[in-house]
Amino acid sequence: MTYSKIVGIGHYVPENIITNAYLESIMDTNDAWITERTGIKERRYFTYGKDTNASMAMEASKIAIERAGLTPKDIDFIVYATITPDYYFPGPGFILQREMGMEGIGVLDIRDQCSGFIYALSTADQFIKSGMYKNILVIGSELQSTFLNHSSEGRGVAVIFGDGAGAVVLQATNNESSRVLSTHLHADGNFAEDLYVKSPGSSRAKRFYDDLLENPSTGDVIMNGNLVFKHAVVRFPEVIREALNTNGLAPEDIDLLVPHQANLRISEYVRQQMGMSEDKVFNNIQKYGNTTAASIPIALCEAWESGRIKTGDLVCLAAFGSGFTWGSALIRW
């Protein structure tokens, strides 16, 4: 039987470090307030004229492909998760495909917000299991700093998000002992407006002029923070246990949990609910903030680079975000 395996991983974050102290200088906030509520100390913002969504993804992809021992020509398909494309359409995957010389292969956009990378990984896993493709590039990339409201009014959201990209190469394998064991995807559209950006949208008389020019705030991120938190701390453990139960495993079998980096308080709550020790959960939100679809592959890459993931380890990925969406992936490394 054919399975899929992560054979290469890479990430890229912009060089522009935005500290809590800097945010204090431009809005009514402070380091203690941000740290207490989110755990974030700094995040990365893109450099105009240097970084784009696609260019960040390309840097991460080059590393992943090289570590897989492949060349761009060996890639059969691209699955690209983002909610911050360089163009309204087409998606940045097409730009990456062009710039990396991968002409002719298919590109699939995934718009599932903070769960985007898990949705992308699951999609790629199914393509490989079906025998359709052998080597798939799976990307999560976000350039969010340009749509944040950096005023005191928007501080509750602006302090959270950052820019960056991560990528993995998923490859076909017959090895049952080292592979993606299972993936699990869920959504609940009843809460779509509790974490969303309204504009630009197609269901207006004039897509841009009616909303963005006359009322720029419709382009801001709107988040019902308390509701998001309450749902996240339920869905995270739920979907992690779903993955474990599917494979006849228990929380103590997990060697490393890599959650979506939404909020350090959420990750800590989930860790306690799962009865896991601190060394079994990887967090880097302190350095990068919430990079949405990019957060899991960036964290996964840093965990692997630092020796926190070794061959044979059981690694669990889990996410929750706008939509609402949530999902998990269980991997035997």
Active site residues: 114, 260, 290
C-alpha 199/C-alpha 196 separation (Å) is: 9
The DSSP line for 9-42 is EEEE--SEEEEHHHHHHHSS--HHHHHHHH---E
**CA pseudo-torsion sign 223, 114, 184, 233:** negative
Any idea which residue has 């090895």 for tokens? 175
C-alpha 225/C-alpha 203 separation (Å) is: 26
C-alpha 137/C-alpha 77 separation (Å) is: 6
Residue 50, both tokens? 């240097």
What values do phi and psi take at 206, rounded to 5?
-135, 120
Torsion (CA) 245, 248, 253, 255 in degrees, nearest 10: -70
Which residues does 127 contact at the CB level (< 8 Å), separation at least 6?
A: 77, 133, 136
C-alpha 204/C-alpha 211 separation (Å) is: 8
Question: Which residues share a beta bridge with 233?
Answer: none
Q: Read off the amino acid at residue 49.
A: G
Nearest CA to 73 out of 97, 89, 56, 55 is that of: 97
End-to-end CA distance of the chain: 18
Any idea which residue has 């998923």 for tokens? 170
Any idea which residue has 């490393």 for tokens? 256
Q: Compute and round to an integer the Cα radius of gyration of the chain.
A: 19
